[in-house]
Amino acid sequence: MGRRQELERRQNLLARFGRLIAAETRLESLLSLISEELKNILSADRCRVFLIDPYKGELWTRVLVNNEDKILRVPIGRGVAGFVAKTGSAVNLHSAYRDARFTEDLDRLTGYQTKTVLAVPLTGHDGIILGVFEVLNKLKGAFTEEDEGLLRILATMAASFVENATLYNDLRRSHVETIYRMALVAEFRDQKDTGRHLRRMSRFSGILARAMGLSDAEAEDIRCAAPLHDIGKVAIPDSILRKPGALTADEYEEMKRHTIYGGRMLANAESRLLRLASRIAMGHHERYDGTGYPQGVKGEEIPMEARIVSVADVFDALISKRVYKGAWDISEVKAYFQEQRGKIFDPQVVDKLFENLDRILAAADEENRRIQEDEAMQKPTPTANAQPEQPEDHHLRR
Ligand SMILES: [Fe+2]
Ligand SMILES: [Fe+2]
């Protein structure tokens, strides 16, 4: 390729790069997009985008290890990327293994052999280093000074987009965390556990939502909003919520109102997630055949998210062991959902439950493992003062 054509090619790629990164607001997608584009523009074999985790003082990046997506962490100061993050100066190595700044650990982990490396800092608007762009093994020869200039321009172009996506990501994470902690308030008062049920049913809800044909983003929203389904229980008096044994008819009517209370607490929120949670709280005890509560709406009149959460919620209640009941056998659980398919539950959601049963049970195992790890770290266990006699679970007397 002539010099002129090469210049033209790069200009086109640069324009394309600008267009693409401006259109992507989600951090994960933005980073993989950047890394794919940098690889092409610089004619490199690989590209890694490292970001600084300010809380841990480390750089992190996503890499493939044995075809598995992994997060890799590097202390600031270690290796080429660590050096760039620490000093803010670019590094261009023509023979990586001969340079003291290079460390072999990433190669060993990823089964790769780095020959040439070009790395530049990614600097935010206030001059603080946000991360490092690193391209590896130029397809022909070594990286030139011109390549270095180009990578610097790309880093400057990308910086504000990465900065905004990071901020958005942090904001969303703290919003989701606050929602989850709100849900824990209601759950803790009722079951005195640290949200085991919430964590599992929320995972199931996300899997079912995706299986129902919703987008990744919509399914993720449902996963995050699902834990609030019973938030309305905070308005139910202790005398009912914590009553051992059966409720009177009046008490049961009041108990059923947790749907209305929850729906109202969350209604008309500005946050899309909270509005979604409001529909879930209001609709999670409606039945497909119209015999549920509080409104007795049926079929597609019940919001899709509520039909999904209803299945996830009851499924978890049945497969789990509680103080007053053992866990049901999975074959009993399946028979129950088969029996209630089209009565209590949306038949389509039940079909998706059966089709994805392995994934859902694997998600339950994974959450249980994490819960155990979390509980091992915080003593005394929150269940230590649980009362011997437990109130009946409203999940099972719908
Ligand atoms: Fe409920
Ligand atoms: Fe529940």
Q: Note the pLDDT tens digit of each residue in 105-149.
A: 899 988 999 999 999 999 998 999 999 999 999 999 999 999 999
Alpha carbon of 161 to those of 61, 158, 252, 266, 363: distances in Å? Answer: 17, 5, 53, 32, 33
- Confidence category of residue 192, pLDDT binned at 50, 70, 90: low
- Confidence category of residue 384, pLDDT binned at 50, 70, 90: very low
Tell me: do 200 and 331 sit in the same domain.
yes
Expressed in angstroms and rounded, the spacing between residue 394 Cα and the centre of ligand 1 is 7
Is-contact 24 30, C-beta < 8 A?
yes
Tell me: do 86 and 223 sit in the same domain.
no
Expressed in angstroms and rounded, the spacing between residue 397 Cα and the centre of ligand 1 is 10
pLDDT at 388: 40
Tell me: do 248 and 330 sit in the same domain.
yes
Q: Note the pLDDT tens digit of each residue in 67-114.
A: 778 889 999 999 999 999 999 999 999 999 999 999 998 999 889 999
Q: Find the ligand nearest to 231 CA.
A: 1
Expressed in angstroms and rounded, the spacing between residue 186 Cα and the centre of ligand 1 is 11
Tell whether the model's pLDDT for residue 379 goes beyond 60.
no
Tell me: do 155 and 281 sit in the same domain.
no
Tell me: do 157 and 303 sit in the same domain.
no
Tell me: do 351 and 388 sit in the same domain.
yes
- Confidence category of residue 396, pLDDT binned at 50, 70, 90: low
Tell me: do 141 and 261 sit in the same domain.
no
Q: Find the ligand nearest to 260 CA.
A: 1
Tell me: do 307 and 360 sit in the same domain.
yes
Tell me: do 104 and 216 sit in the same domain.
no
* CATH code for the domain in which residue 197 is found: 1.10.3210.10
Q: 158-167, 296-305, 384-393 — which is least confidently predicted?
A: 384-393
Which range marks the domain in which residue 345 is found? Answer: 192-396
What average pLDDT does range 350-372 have in this prediction? 95
Q: Note the pLDDT tens digit of each residue in 282-296.
A: 999 999 999 999 999
Asked whether residue 211 is domain-assigned, the answer is yes
Cα 4 to chain centroid distance, Å, stands at 46
Expressed in angstroms and rounded, the spacing between residue 202 Cα and the centre of ligand 2 is 10
Enumerate the active-site residues. Answer: 233
Q: Find the ligand nearest to 286 CA.
A: 1
Domain end position, chosen among 132, 167, 202: 167
Asked whether residue 63 is domain-assigned, the answer is yes
* CATH code for the domain in which residue 114 is found: 3.30.450.40
Please count the residues of the chain.
398
pLDDT at 260: 98
Asked whether residue 128 is domain-assigned, the answer is yes
**Residues, beta carbon < 5 Å, ion ligand 1:** 230
Tell me: do 253 and 301 sit in the same domain.
yes
Count of the separate structural domains present in the chain: 2
- Confidence category of residue 55, pLDDT binned at 50, 70, 90: confident
Tell me: do 201 and 161 sit in the same domain.
no
Tell me: do 286 and 157 sit in the same domain.
no
Asked whether residue 178 is domain-assigned, the answer is no
pLDDT at 326: 73
Share above pLDDT 70 across residues of the chain, in percent, rounded to a whole number: 93
Expressed in angstroms and rounded, the spacing between residue 62 Cα and the centre of ligand 1 is 39
| Token output for 204 | 């199931």
CA distance 288 to 301: 9
Give the highest mean pLDDT range of 19-33, 68-82, 176-190, 291-305: 291-305
